[in-house]
C-alpha cells in the first residue's frame, strides 16, 4: 500500500513533498481589491505569487 503524499498532511507554504513533480501547478493567486480601489482601477486585479514555486519559475 502506498502512503499518502506528505504534502496532503501538512497545510500551507511549509509543505514537504515526496517528489519535485508534486510541486508543479497550483501557484497561489491573490486578489488585490484594496490596491485596485486605492488606485481607482476598475478591474479584477490579481497577483500570481511565483515565490511560492520551488525555483520561482515565471514562464507560464
Higher per-residue confidence, 6 vs 39: 39
Question: In angstroms, rounded to a whole number, what is the distance separating the alpha carbons of residues 48 and 36?
Answer: 15
Domain span at residue 47? 6-52
Closest CA to 52 of 18, 21, 10, 24: 24
Whether the predicted pLDDT of 6 surpasses 60: no
Is the residue at 23 inside a domain?
yes
Q: Would you say residue 1 lies in a domain?
A: no
Per the structure, how many domains does the chain have?
1
Could you say which of 2, 34, 39, 59 is catalytic? 59
CA torsion 30→33→35→38, rounded to 10°? 180
Q: What does the CA dihedral 38, 39, 42, 46 come to, rounded to 10 degrees?
A: -90
Q: Is 59 a catalytic residue?
A: yes
Would 57 be classed as within a structural domain?
no
Q: Is residue 59 part of a domain?
A: no
Of the chain, the percentage scoring pLDDT greater than 90 comes to: 30
So what's the pLDDT on residue 10? 44
- pTM of the full structure: 0.50
Band the pLDDT of 8: cuts 50, 70, 90. Answer: very low
Amino acid at each position: 500500500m502506498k502512503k499518502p503524499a506528505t504534502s496532503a498532511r501538512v497545510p500551507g507554504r511549509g509543505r514537504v513533498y515526496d517528489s519535485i513533480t508534486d510541486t508543479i501547478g497550483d501557484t497561489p493567486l491573490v486578489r488585490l481589491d484594496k490596491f485596485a480601489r486605492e488606485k481607482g482601477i476598475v478591474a479584477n486585479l490579481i497577483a500570481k505569487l511565483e515565490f511560492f514555486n520551488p525555483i520561482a519559475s515565471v514562464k507560464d
